[in-house]
Each structure stands twice: as structure tokens, then as C-alpha cells.
Amino acid sequence: MKGMVFGEKVNYLEDGLGFLQALSENLGTEIEVVGAVVKSDDIDLSVLKGFTKLYVLNEGSTESYAKVLIDLYSRDKPDVIVGPQVKNGVEVMARVASELSIPMITEVYQLSKVNGDTLISRQIMGGRALALYQFKSPIVATIALKRFKPRLEGAQPVIEEINVPKVEMEVVEVQPKEKGAVDIEAAEIVVGVGRGFRSKEDLKLAFELAELLNGEVGCSRPIAADLQWLSEDRWIGISGKKIKGKLYLSIGISGAPQHIMAASDVKVIVAINKDKNAPIFTYADYGVVADLYQFVPVLIERLKAKLKK
């Protein structure tokens, strides 16, 4: 079997390779994998072992990347074409899938084998349910980040540079997003804040708690998108950041499905909310039904005593 992985970044290629290796094990067939990555100043291709060939593309648009992949498809005839579950990855893969009239599975979450059938599942309905599909080639897929660990071994791949074609879509400008210099996706401990906070000023309670625990502060959608009290890189949600550390301590968050799903890989979830019927309690390991303005200061004080700070 043949596989092709596309990604704008090296780590996206690793995720795709991990999936194809898992698929090959599941099916019990060898798989030969080629990769297509976008060239950047700090790119390090030496880590990418396990690919027979690497195509290195110069920077372009989603339309131009898709064109290259469609050309490569007719050359290499892969059975499975995968990309990363990021917005550009989804658009590029959907362009490839629609041009080739091949089915596509967005955000592949896990692989399983039931009665000899290889099943691919993805999360739907805000993470409340899994949809299962029977694997059948050819297929296009985007792979959830960091779900499939690759074995990066073997010889260095052959490298071929490709100039992306001129297309109609024209990239006019790239504006970096304002960053608070936090990476909550990499944080082991995250303190989440929601609508239960009455003002931006009051968030200092959460920041104090996070600092005490060596964690970062994250938030629900309204806090970043509607109220703009915190920058978007702190927004925990399907369209925001996904956290996967040891502890998520949510404060004053009711628990919309999109928020909860983005915290589903966290080891321990604690919820503090004054409404005992808030959905967040269903998704929490430990719940405290209390007014955050009364409870959080006490928690900070007791933690300080325990931590001798």
C-alpha cells in the first residue's frame, strides 16, 4: 500500500506518518510513505525518517498546494492521502478529495479493528459522539494532531524540490496574531475562566491561582471572542486551543460541548461553579458547588499554606 502525507510543518508530517504506520499495522500490510512539506527558513528535514521520498514545496496558497498534491497523486497513486487537522490542512485536503472525487474523513481520532474490519473514528457533535467509518481506499483524511505517535526510523528520504504552480488564489498579506506569549496546549496545568467572572479585573484571582500551581490561564469562548478580556491563544475550544496536561481547573465555566471536548485529554478535571446543574460537573472528576468569589480566595490561601509559599 502507498500513503502520502502533506503538511506545512515538519511535525504535521510526523502526525500523518504516525497514522499511516498505525493503519499499516491494523491492516497487516506494508506501507510506503511519501511526504510533501512546505519550505521555511528554520525547517529541519533530518528528523523525517520513515518516508521514502520527500517533496519540498515553496510557499504558496491552499489552492497551489492542492494542485501539487493532485499532480503527485497521478504520479505516485497513493491509496491514502493525509494532512493535518488544522484549518489549512482541512481546506487543502478537501480540495484534493473533491477534485479526485474521493471520500474524506475530517479529524481522524482513532483506528480500531472489529470483526476483521478496519474502522476509522472521528469525534462529532462537539465531542459527545464518535462516528465510525469502514476503511476503504482510496481515501483522504485529516489527522488530529498528536494522536498517532510515529516511528521515525530508517534511511533519510530522497528529496525533490517542487515549485508550486501559479493559481488564481492570491495571498496578499499575512498578519501574525497578537500573542500573549502563552502556549496553553503545552501547559501541564491550566486554570480556565468563564462567564462566572464579573469583570476583567477579577481574572487576577485565576492568574494568582495559576501562578501558584505553575500553570497557565485559559478561557471559554465568550471571554476571548465576545468580551475580549483575554487573547485568543488562551481560548480552549474546538476552534481554539486543545489542552492535554495533568490538570484542568475550570472556574465559572458552564461547559459548552465545544469547550469540554477541547479538554477531553486532560488527566484530571476540576470544576468550580455556583450552579450545581452546570454541565461542566458531568465532565469533571472533582466538583465544587460554590461562588467562585468566595471559594477561590480560600483555595489560594490553603494552597499557599500547603505549598509553604
Partner 1 sequence: MDIGVLVKASLDVNMIRVDSEGRILLDAIPLAISEYDRNAITEAVRIRDETGGGKVVAFSVLTWGPASKRAKEIENVMREALALGADEAHAIVDDSIIPGDTISTAKVLAKLICKMGKFDLVLSGEASQDMMSSQLPVRLARELNYSVATFARKIELLDGKIRVTRDLEDYLQVVNISLPAVISVTGEINRPKLPTLLQIRRAFRKPYNSYTLSQLGVESIEIKLPYKEINLVTISRKNVILEGDKLEDIADQLIERLIEEGVIKV
Beta strands in 180-285 (DSSP E): 189-193, 216-219, 247-251, 268-273
Give me the amino acid identity at 205: L
Query: Is there binding between residue 101 and partner 1 (CB under 8 A)?
Result: yes
What does the alpha-carbon distance between residue 255 and residue 251 come to, in Å, rounded to a whole number? 10
Q: Is the peptide bond before 138 cis (omega within 30 degrees of 0)?
A: yes
Residues between 254 and 273 with contacts to partner 1, criterion CB under 8 A: 257, 267-270
**Nearest to partner 1 of 30, 42 (CB atom):** 42
- 80 close to 16: Cβ distance less than 8 angstroms: no
Q: Residue 1 or residue 289: which is nearer to partner 1 going by CB?
A: 289
Helix 292-307 crosses helix 204-212 at what angle (to 10 degrees)? 20
Beta carbon nearer to partner 1, 21 or 62: 62
Q: Assess 186 for contact with partner 1 (CB under 8 A).
A: no
Dist. CA 84–CA 230, nearest whole Å:
27
SS3 (DSSP) at 23: helix
Q: Does 227 sit near partner 1 (CB under 8 A)?
A: no
181 binds partner 1 (CB under 8 A): no
**Would you say 13 or 97 has its CB closer to partner 1?**
97
* Range 53-92, binding partner 1 (CB under 8 A): 61-62, 86-88, 90-91
Nearest approach in angstroms of CB 193 to partner 1 is 17
Distance, in Å, from the CA atom of 141 to the CA atom of 133, rounded to the nearest integer, reads 12
290 binds partner 1 (CB under 8 A): yes
Q: Which residues 6+ apart lie within 8 Å of 95 measured at CB?
A: 62, 63, 66
Stretch of 25-33, 41-49, 153-161, 299-307 lying at the interface with partner 1 (CB under 8 A):
299-307
Candidates 26-34, 49-57, 173-181, 193-201: pick the segment binding partner 1 (CB under 8 A). 173-181
User: Does 144 contact partner 1 by CB under 8 A?
Assistant: no
Q: Does 304 bind partner 1 (CB under 8 A)?
A: no
Which residue in this structure is represented by grid cell 481515501?
139
What would the grid cell of residue 3 be? Answer: 500513503
Determine which helix (DSSP H) or strand (DSSP E) holds 283, and give its type and residue range: none
- Contact call for residue 176 and partner 1 (CB under 8 A): yes
193 binds partner 1 (CB under 8 A): no
Residues 23 and 135: beta-carbon distance below 8 Å: yes
Which of 39, 77, 113, 128 binds partner 1 (CB under 8 A)? It is 128
Which one of residues 44, 74, 177, 199 is an interface residue with partner 1 (CB under 8 A)?
177
DSSP 277: T
Q: Which range of residues in 17-25, 43-51, 125-133, 197-205 is near partner 1 by CB under 8 A?
A: 125-133
How far CA 128 is from CA of 119, 121, 160, 241, 260, in Å, comes to 19, 13, 43, 18, 9
Residue 133 in contact with partner 1, rule: CB under 8 A: yes
Q: Which of residues 17-56 bind partner 1 (CB under 8 A)?
A: none
Contacts of residue 157, Cβ cutoff 8 Å, sequence gap at least 6: 34, 35, 45, 48, 49, 51, 52, 53, 54
Q: Which of residues 43, 77, 103, 183 is near partner 1 by CB under 8 A?
A: 103
Q: How far apart are CA 296 and CA 208, in angstroms?
A: 10
Nearer to partner 1, 155 or 172 (CB): 172
Q: Residues 74, 115, 175, 199: which binds partner 1 (CB under 8 A)?
A: 175
Among 45, 70, 225, 227, binds partner 1 (CB under 8 A): 225
6 strand-pairing partners:
36
Segment interacting with partner 1, rule: CB under 8 A, options 21-29, 30-38, 157-165, 171-179: 171-179
